[in-house]
Structure 1
Amino acid sequence: MDFKRKMPLSLAHKAQIAIFLIVLGVHGNSGAQNTSPAVSLVPVAKGLDHPWAVAFLPQGQFLVTERPGRMRVVSASGQVGPALSGVPAVAAGGQGGLLDLVADTGFARNRRIFFCFSEPAAGGARGNSTALARATLSEDTRSLQDVKVIFSQQPKVESAQHFGCRIVQAADGNLFLALGERYQRKDDAQKLDNHHGKIVRITPDGAVPPDNPFAKQPGALPEIWSYGHRNPQGATLGPDGKLWMHEHGPQGGDEINLPQPGRNYGWPVITYGENYGGGKMGEGTAKAGMEQPLHYWVPSIAPSGMAFLTSTRYGPAWQGSLFVGSLKFGTLHRLEVAGGRVQREEKLLQGHGERLRDVRQGPDGLLYMVTDSPQGQLLRLQPG
């Protein structure tokens, strides 16, 4: 889960130069020879305060969220701009704050973005929940305009944990939002009268698509797409346009899932993890009516960020691979997926040490990451 022990930085890492070589490693059961290309890790921008997500703007600019509640534009040359005005108040603390961010597929025309954050209860009441907002980025990239919250997770609870909060926009324009079960409310993940531990699907205006699986079921919240999730912090579209996501397990049992409409993904009834400190959790690893993960990790890697590589910028061997960042180890995991299963897993950036919070493919076909620290970085994985 997100608050697993942070890995200490070595003195050598603290004194890193602008460009340094990556140490590559392989992990998996295929026995395949390592065919990874030569790559280097290039810092694009530094001095970001716990950056959580990066989106790509025209002319090579970047838009980055910082968990304490700020959003900044980073120039193509790496200059970090001032905090944008117009960002709503966030419940910053623990795992909460300003979290994921995506640019609308029509951004070049409408300058619209979507972002999610931990929303405090109104009127000074106690509690918070994950909210999804849309806004227009001003032409001078200094402010957010026409900000509107289009979805608020219900109910709000007093918790600083498990907000989830990854956004994916599908080809039809509809939005998927991955929601955590808020930790102490884990049993809610199996109930359809709340948004805890769910994937929800809404339109860009916040309406419920009529073909949502529970849109007409009495007693169920109509936004729900799938349920039985724990704390999802990675989501992306696969090459076939379908939704992929991963979620934190407890102690072990991080999962990759392919959320299908109306399906139950088991948490907290089934899991490949265990209670903190040891001991069985739930009813085992399988139960009728509950879906199995495509892939899982024991021990946990604390995954965050997720992207398919569609380009050939790193050569043909990596094209089509799924990349997942690790908060716990600071590694980048490359997964070769075929036939509905992971055929091979390769660990990259071993020895890097910094928590990887987001992983995205940029318009240039290269992979970009942000690191979760008070002096976080925007990094580019450079071939050659």
Structure 2
Amino acid sequence: MVRLLASSLALAITLALAPLDTPVAPAASAPSPSASHRPAAPALKVRTVVRGLQNPWDVQQGAGGRLLVSERDRARISVVRNGKRRTLARLGRLVWVSGETGLLSLAVDAGSRTLWACHGARTSNGPEVRVTRWRVDRRWRTLSHRKVLLSGFPATSGRHGGCRLLLEREGDALLVGTGDAAVGTNPRDLDSLGGKVLRVHRRTGGPMPDNPFAGSTTARRFVWTYGHRNVQGLAQRADGSVWSVEHGSDRDDEVNLLVPGGDYGWNPVPGYDESVPMTDHSLPGVQQEAAWSSGAPTIATSGAAWVRGEQWGSLDGTLAVAALKGSEVMFLRFDDQGGLLSVTRPKVLQRFGRLRSVTSTRNGDLLVTTDNGAGDRVLRISPR
């Protein structure tokens, strides 16, 4: 485990970006804009928003400057405001915690004071992963009106229980990225909710009417894409496209541009054979190639958010991706068709250990959670 730097609560680190912007040759059909026509990359300021957390899985904005933070193993949701943390809910009786599964991703609609959480749960038939919705009171101090929105995601030991939520900007859809529970048949079984990106109505819990298999009477009516291993991040670009971030096996972490009904090619059978390709083009049908892949070894890519705002200079419009094993944030630039143009790896973001989630705030700053197990914190990253 990488040791965190000792610092005060108001720590601010200001360093210029290291010269680690690696260009990638774009496809001939999508030429890269000249680097000389883009503004320079900014220096970055990193501040600690709150500390004393344990394995925080997600951070989202509430109302009035509040942040909501989930902690996986503590099964605790906290409200952070002006550097102070207080507990909104302790969900230990509701949440099943095992291995990589516990209290995971959050989604927040601040205007309606609605909160969604993805988490492990116990049932009479064994553990599962599910999405639950609550209302928050006007002072953001209590949760009520609990409703299980969607349930039945497979779970085994807790391995590959990753679950990421994303509210689509337009309409009523909630996107849910799921892990395959380390069961080889789940990713391509359209009636299993594991190894998928799902699309559900955020209020009713029903399938969205334009889902690829919406007319089905089985679980596949919720499926948006399939053939995934362990989805860790979801992010929607300004053009409306949705992108996922996925853990690879011993190679090939992936960033994927999602195509409705798309097959992303993970099929580790018989058993759970992790020697197969992350995107196996020998399977029937057409498999979607990754927009970015780590190759070998993996860096355990996790949460992601699109960077927005002229203040970010040449990083404006990139996808910020956190890495656990890699202990960094990468900024990936893609063209309009999803072709990779460049990768930027600022050194200033390589000194906080394992990084789990990235959230874009309303003013364009980034919030990042560390995931070192003890003394974890939420960082706020802004350009100088």
- Asked whether the equivalents of residues 107 and 117 of structure 2 are also in contact (C-alpha less than 8 Å), the reply is yes
Letter in 2 for 1:53: D
State the aligned residue count.
Answer: 359
Q: Distance in 1 between matches of 2:258 and 2:59?
A: 24
> Does residue 72 of structure 1 match 2:66?
no
For 1:228-243, list aligned pairs within 5 A.
228-243=227-242
Letter in 2 for 1:239: A
Letter in 1 for 2:94: A
Letter in 2 for 1:89: L
CA positional deviation for 1:291: 1.2
- Which of 26, 29, 35 does residue 20 from structure 2 map onto? 26
Query: Compared with structure 1, are the counterparts of its residues 189 and 14 closer, same or farther at alpha carbon in structure 2 (3 Å cutoff)?
Result: same
CA positional deviation for 1:208: 1.5
- Asked whether the equivalents of residues 266 and 280 of structure 2 are also in contact (C-alpha less than 8 Å), the reply is no
- Asked whether the equivalents of residues 301 and 327 of structure 1 are also in contact (C-alpha less than 8 Å), the reply is yes
Query: Compared with structure 1, are the counterparts of its residues 285 and 157 closer, same or farther at alpha carbon in structure 2 (3 Å cutoff)?
Result: closer
For 1:278-357, list aligned pairs within 5 A.
280-282=275-277, 285-287=280-282, 288-298=285-295, 299-315=297-313, 317-338=314-335, 339-348=337-346, 349=348, 351-357=350-356
1:101 paired residue number: 106
CA positional deviation for 1:211: 2.1
CA positional deviation for 1:284: 7.3
Structure 1 gaps of 5+ residues are: 1-6
CA positional deviation for 1:67: 0.8
CA positional deviation for 1:82: 2.5
CA positional deviation for 1:221: 2.2
> Does residue 202 of structure 1 match 2:196?
no
- Asked whether the equivalents of residues 164 and 233 of structure 1 are also in contact (C-alpha less than 8 Å), the reply is yes
Query: Compared with structure 1, are the counterparts of its residues 111 and 38 closer, same or farther at alpha carbon in structure 2 (3 Å cutoff)?
Result: same
- Asked whether the equivalents of residues 165 and 180 of structure 1 are also in contact (C-alpha less than 8 Å), the reply is yes
1:268 paired residue number: 267
- Which of 115, 119, 122 does residue 120 from structure 1 map onto? 122
- Which of 38, 41, 47 does residue 42 from structure 1 map onto? 47
Letter in 1 for 2:250: Q
Q: Distance in 2 between matches of 1:136 and 1:325?
A: 29
2:378 paired residue number: 378
| 3-state SS of 1:153 partner | strand
- Asked whether the equivalents of residues 252 and 278 of structure 2 are also in contact (C-alpha less than 8 Å), the reply is no
1:133 paired residue number: 132
- Asked whether the equivalents of residues 52 and 99 of structure 1 are also in contact (C-alpha less than 8 Å), the reply is yes
| 3-state SS of 2:140 partner | coil
- Asked whether the equivalents of residues 190 and 228 of structure 1 are also in contact (C-alpha less than 8 Å), the reply is yes
Letter in 1 for 2:55: H
- Asked whether the equivalents of residues 98 and 118 of structure 1 are also in contact (C-alpha less than 8 Å), the reply is yes
Q: Distance in 2 between matches of 1:86 and 1:197?
A: 25
- Asked whether the equivalents of residues 24 and 350 of structure 1 are also in contact (C-alpha less than 8 Å), the reply is no
Letter in 2 for 1:16: S
- Asked whether the equivalents of residues 192 and 219 of structure 1 are also in contact (C-alpha less than 8 Å), the reply is no
Query: Compared with structure 1, are the counterparts of its residues 252 and 282 closer, same or farther at alpha carbon in structure 2 (3 Å cutoff)?
Result: closer
- Asked whether the equivalents of residues 269 and 284 of structure 1 are also in contact (C-alpha less than 8 Å), the reply is no
* TM-score, normalised relative to structure 2: 0.86
Which deviates further from its counterpart, 261-270 or 354-363? 261-270
> Does residue 61 of structure 1 match 2:59?
no
Q: Distance in 2 between matches of 1:120 and 1:8?
A: 33
2:95 paired residue number: 90
Query: Compared with structure 1, are the counterparts of its residues 378 and 199 closer, same or farther at alpha carbon in structure 2 (3 Å cutoff)?
Result: same
Query: Compared with structure 1, are the counterparts of its residues 79 and 283 closer, same or farther at alpha carbon in structure 2 (3 Å cutoff)?
Result: closer
Q: Distance in 1 between matches of 2:289 and 2:41?
A: 30
1:3 paired residue number: none
Q: Distance in 1 between matches of 2:144 and 2:92?
A: 9
Which deviates further from its counterpart, 63-72 or 33-42? 33-42
2:6 paired residue number: 15
- Asked whether the equivalents of residues 66 and 98 of structure 1 are also in contact (C-alpha less than 8 Å), the reply is yes
| 3-state SS of 1:313 partner | helix
Q: Distance in 2 between matches of 1:29 and 1:341?
A: 12
Letter in 1 for 2:199: R
CA positional deviation for 1:162: 0.8
Query: Compared with structure 1, are the counterparts of its residues 118 and 285 closer, same or farther at alpha carbon in structure 2 (3 Å cutoff)?
Result: same
For 1:100-179, list aligned pairs within 5 A.
100-104=105-109, 107-108=110-111, 110-122=112-124, 125-126=125-126, 128-154=127-153, 156-170=154-168, 171-179=170-178
CA positional deviation for 1:203: 0.4
Q: Distance in 1 between matches of 2:309 and 2:83?
A: 23
Q: Distance in 2 between matches of 1:382 and 1:217?
A: 45
| 3-state SS of 1:149 partner | strand
Question: Percent identical across equivalent pairs?
Answer: 29
CA positional deviation for 1:244: 0.8
Q: Distance in 2 between matches of 1:355 and 1:322?
A: 18
- Which of 155, 174, 191 does residue 193 from structure 1 map onto? 191
CA positional deviation for 1:160: 1.2
